[in-house]
Structure 1
Amino acid sequence: MEQNVIDASGLLAISTRLQRLSDQIRRDGLLIYKAFGIDFQPKWFPVLYTLYKKSTMSVVSLSDEIGYAHPSTISLLKELEKEKLIRSKKDKIDTRKRLVELTEKGKTLLSTMEPVWQVIIKATEEVTNTENNLMKAINEVEAALQEKSFLLRAQAYMNK
């Protein structure tokens, strides 16, 4: 079978290939939640799970914790507020800060999701626990990029 252009391009299309993999896992994740009768969008996971584990957080702290740009976090928060899964309030100490937390509806949703997470973990282990272990590789790449950005690495080759 002939490779498509993106697959054949190798490292040049790594971002596209990771996006494609992410999209596939999210689509299937949505179907897994639906199979359990849970109305949940996988894109909500980082915000809701973080608030589930850390309780009330400022928008900036939450954005930093999940590693999303501030505008992306704000967009998710608006969606989650509309769904009544989170609420926001002004910080009493610093009124410029907005704090977000789960609502009772959000807490209930997440508690019904906990058993599903075990299923998701098992299925994920099955596909990622390969000879090259994807999670280990992701951790290694993230650590390398923390040490020196992709841009700085590329610039070193542009100056040669």
Structure 2
Amino acid sequence: MTEDLLTQYGYLFLGSRLKRLAERLQADVVRVSQRNGLDLQPGHYTLLATIAEGGPKSIGALAQSLGLSQPAITKKASRLSELQLVEVTGSGEDGRRRIVALTEKGMDAMRLSRATVWLPVDAAVRQVVMSLSGPLLDQLSQLEQSLEEKSLADRAEEFSQQQTSA
């Protein structure tokens, strides 16, 4: 068996290894969302949550809050607008300033997400990371091994089933 190149090169390819792990985790969150009737990408949740918690915000304020570029926020907001989860309108004082607000459908999606996705995913992530110890690269290996044994989506599903039967 060939050793994983990203693991073999340790800190040199740390960013690539973290990106691979992030993509794996996000794919599992998509599975959990889809199981619960939600057509949302993990990256959408941060924007939706920011608006749900703080009310309508400009593209610039969202970019600043999330530490992302304005073009990235504009792209996410456009996708969420296509899904009818947010409404993007021009500001009264400056037509170039775009305000993003949740629609009723967006508020419903947030309620459903909090109830059926966020809690199980949070519990699954906590379960995976609670036993990690040692240097960072060792922790990454432990995390990857744990996810090989049972995916985050499967852990979230188990949590949901336990909550339902409790």
Whole-Å Cα distance in 2 between the matches of residues 46 and 112 of structure 1?
A: 15
Change (3 A) 1:37 1:89: closer
Shift of 1:131: 2.2
The equivalent of 2:123 in structure 1 is: 122
Shift of 1:38: 2.4
Please list, as runs of the form range in 1=range in 2, the aligned pairs for 1:1-160 lying within 5 A after superposition. 2-115=2-115, 116-129=117-130, 130-131=132-133
The equivalent of 1:145 in structure 2 is: none
Instruction: Find runs of 4+ consecutive structure 1 residues off by over 6 angstroms.
Output: none
Whole-Å Cα distance in 2 between the matches of residues 22 and 16 of structure 1?
A: 10
How large is the RMSD of aligned CA atoms in angstroms? 2.0
Whole-Å Cα distance in 2 between the matches of residues 79 and 22 of structure 1?
A: 21
> AA paired with 2:133?
E
Shift of 1:70: 1.6
Question: What runs of 5+ residues in structure 1 fail to find an aligned partner?
Answer: 138-160
Whole-Å Cα distance in 2 between the matches of residues 99 and 77 of structure 1?
A: 10
Q: TM-score, normalised by structure 2?
A: 0.74
Whole-Å Cα distance in 1 between the matches of residues 68 and 135 of structure 2?
A: 25
Higher relative contact order (CA closer than 8 Å, sequence separation 6+) = 2
Q: TM-score, normalised by structure 1?
A: 0.77
Shift of 1:13: 0.7
Identity percentage over the alignment?
25
Per-residue CA deviation, residues 33-61 of structure 1 (Å, 9 max, x unaligned), is 12223222222111111111111101001
Q: Aligned residue pairs: how many? A: 135
Change (3 A) 1:12 1:98: same
Change (3 A) 1:16 1:93: same
